[in-house]
Amino acid sequence: MLELIARLIIDLSEQRLYAYGPSQVLLYSALVSTGLPASPTPVGAFHIQAKYASTDLTGATYQVKSVPHVMCLGGPGLGPDRYCIHPAPWQEQGGQCFGVPRSHGCIRTTVATARWLFERTAVGTPVEIRP
């Protein structure tokens, strides 16, 4: 049986995600790529609002079909499905490392990290994004 994640912390200065279990023990840590200065990732207290086994990601300048294991944030000031934690296979395939800002505001992970998180994170899980 998988241990569920009790909370996620995204540290923008470290470009790292931390997943904690119910006993506040660190279960997982991974490099991520968050928003560029022109399209920053919001800071604050949020929660997982929705999970999609597969969904299209669409913005003003991009459309990516059938991205798996997407978890979108909800909370103060966030529109539905505007900021998500999702894999960026195009980043991996292009040989671009994680750990540096690259996104339009979302939190990009590897495919393996997105799958691991998706399997263990419930809708409603708190997400803290720190500067």
Retrieve residue 111's tokens.
């495919």
Quote the pLDDT of residue 69.
Answer: 98
In a domain, 29, yes or no: yes
Quote the pLDDT of residue 62.
Answer: 84
CATH, residue 76: 2.40.440.10
Give the number of domains in the chain: 1
> What pLDDT, in 10s, does the model give residues 11-45?
999 999 999 999 999 999 999 999 999 999 999 99
Residue span of the structural domain in which 92 resides: 7-130
pTM: 0.95
> What pLDDT, in 10s, does the model give residues 41-80?
999 999 999 999 999 998 888 889 999 999 999 999 999 9
In a domain, 80, yes or no: yes
Quote the pLDDT of residue 1.
Answer: 77
Counting beta carbons within 10 angstroms of the beta carbon of residue 108, is it exposed (0 to 12), middle (13 to 18) or buried (19 or more)?
buried
